[in-house]
Structure 1
């Protein structure tokens, strides 16, 4: 193995951190001359990639990083650009700083009483709406969604989720489409106007145009197209994982969550190490196992799933679900990152069995 081989990991989320921690362990084992972890942290925003020169420009080119292997793990962010007014009048959960501002605004609003509107009834919208409804009981909380919240779950788990929304006083308007966000209200396609003192946007995500601008092959959403080893189909020296990669097992397409991001990071670290040793690389195999959803601090529901993320019959609710989710949170991600430095953990709950090996129908 070439000890001078330089790996650059873009992104420090679930996938990027797992790759970095695990690869540092792999490389130390191979080359005992490396001091410490062998990892250098560079703070900044990647603004350009030159796949031919194998460089990454940081902060407009003030810093240039050269790489032999690039791991693209930049993730995604909430997309507020498709509906007029969403970018100007909605909070998101894209950063701790924005979340802190939102919390302060909610505290001020509760003192006077007011309305909080959530645009998007996916898992993020559900968890945020129930958390805020429980924490700020004097606020009127409304959840707007194109589909029924919990539509991806089985009937029993979904029924428990809706009972929790009712218990917490969350008003659900399903089957609606937001067409405009104003400072004091949200306008719907059918002409309704929903009063809104604070609006939180949780509907859909977008990825950075960085890969597409660099000439790396992407799909229509800007996700990097990858092969079975999670390497760019146009530039094999680039490994793409997490939300910004179009990972398509036999059963369908992986959607970005920590549940899939950590195993993909683990796999990528192992793949890079194997390639540098001249060893054969096995295809990435992954299948979903569960959908854990917090419903405030004192309730939760866990829907166990097939590999393709469709629901099984089994589910947990209430206290059992809370204990299950707390165990997951206590074991990942920080503890997992640390342990990857010292041992080879299996970060995959399920490889999906036969479903990940059979051709897609």
Structure 2
């Protein structure tokens, strides 16, 4: 590779931010440039969105401040098209941003298009402003002794429901899920989680699908109508159609198909990380999470740096090690896992779990700040055993 190599990172979420900062450090002295493109100048802490939904005020982190002193050039704008042949990204439908290497880190959003009425009548946790409006609405509902429905019993739904029930004592919270909440956990951790749901007075509607969201109600597939003065939708995710529209090879969900080095199988100058990438390990596909996303960003930054310097690269390896779930501000449960995400007997609950979860939620920002000076390494896996992967 020659000097002047242009690296563009699309998306400044958890993975895009880490990839950009680490790339700038790892390519220092090569003449390469790193540009980070994002629609908003605010860094959104997706791991804490349920706290905003419950009425808590979080720190406002500006992207220019987070990348200050790193050498990363921040461009505020929306990527509206990619031309892989011309190696350019169209920004806001007008200007063009050229690249030699592209890091696709656009992440995912809540899928509001699969069930009628969700788009019109439900809130999501994709945006701090929307979460803030939901918080304002639930404050009104709680004061009137009303009811809120959280649709989706995954970890996001569980955290949102427990946060709401704890923060709004006058609120009746119903959690609707097609599966048992905590089904991915071991029996001990799952039992602890259900005791917390009971303690907080959360009503469970499990094994049932939502057929429609109405104004003031949720209709279930079995025909029942649940009163819902406010509905929070956390079920299912979708990704941007940008990659598929550009002719980049994607799976049926729109995730970029990657090789063993997280490069696009159709356009190897494009690297995909986090929720936007279809990454497969020996044990199966990775699911979208910060736990797996940050290692893909770290690996990709190191891989691109090695390519720029003309060095060889090794395949990506990763293994899970925990399932952390907050249960309000005063309780949590941590299920430790094997590399393939199956639970082991070890778990952490109560105050210790709260401190652990708070560390997990805050660690990405600590990683960004430390990465300005050091080659911070996230936990990855080799042959199914979690180890510290040394910097390349």
Fold agreement, TM-score > 0.5: yes
* Corresponding residue of 1:59: 92
Structure with greater strand percent: 2
Does the CA contact (< 8 Å) of 1:47 and 1:56 recur in 2?
Answer: yes
* Corresponding residue of 2:383: 353
Check if 1:227 corresponds to 2:259. yes
Offset, 1:251:
0.8
**Counterparts of 1:176 and 1:39, CA distance in 2:** 47
Does the CA contact (< 8 Å) of 2:324 and 2:334 recur in 1?
Answer: yes
| Gap change, CA 1:221 and 1:170, over 3 Å in 2 | same
**Counterparts of 2:184 and 2:98, CA distance in 1:** 43
Partner residue of 1:299 out of 321, 331, 341: 331
Check if 1:286 corresponds to 2:313. no
Check if 1:262 corresponds to 2:294. yes
| Gap change, CA 1:200 and 1:319, over 3 Å in 2 | same
Offset, 1:40:
1.1
Check if 1:328 corresponds to 2:360. yes
Where 2:130 maps in the other structure, the secondary structure is: helix
**Counterparts of 1:237 and 1:72, CA distance in 2:** 10
| Gap change, CA 1:68 and 1:294, over 3 Å in 2 | same
Q: Deviations over 1:127-152 (max 9, x none)?
A: 00000000001010000000000000
Offset, 1:328:
2.4
Offset, 1:278:
1.2
Where 2:240 maps in the other structure, the secondary structure is: coil
Q: Root-mean-square deviation (CA), in Å? A: 1.7
Q: Deviations over 1:238-263 (max 9, x none)?
A: 00011111000111011111111111
Partner residue of 1:241 out of 256, 273, 277: 273
Offset, 1:336:
0.3
**Counterparts of 1:189 and 1:290, CA distance in 2:** 33
Check if 1:309 corresponds to 2:348. no
**Counterparts of 1:276 and 1:187, CA distance in 2:** 55
**How many residue pairs are counted as aligned between the two chains?**
353
**Counterparts of 1:78 and 1:113, CA distance in 2:** 28
Offset, 1:39:
1.4
Q: Deviations over 1:133-189 (max 9, x none)?
A: 000010100000000000000000000000000000000110000010100111111
**Counterparts of 2:15 and 2:384, CA distance in 1:** 25
* Corresponding residue of 1:90: 122
Offset, 1:29:
4.5
Point out where structure 2 has 5 or more consecutive residues left out of the alignment. Answer: 35-67, 387-392
* Corresponding residue of 1:70: 102
Point out where structure 1 has 5 or more consecutive residues left out of the alignment. Answer: 357-361
| Gap change, CA 1:299 and 1:25, over 3 Å in 2 | same
Give the alignment's TM-score, normalised by structure 1: 0.95
Where 1:351 maps in the other structure, the secondary structure is: strand
Does the CA contact (< 8 Å) of 2:339 and 2:384 recur in 1?
Answer: no
* Corresponding residue of 2:375: 344
Ranges of 4+ aligned residues in structure 1 off by more than 2 Å: 29-38, 326-330, 352-356
**Counterparts of 2:184 and 2:384, CA distance in 1:** 22
Offset, 1:37:
3.0
Farther-moved stretch of structure 1 (192-201 vs 108-117): 108-117
Offset, 1:52:
0.2
Partner residue of 2:74 out of 41, 50, 58: 41
Where 2:165 maps in the other structure, the secondary structure is: helix
* Corresponding residue of 1:27: 27
Aligned pairs (5 A) from 1:119-158:
119-158=151-190
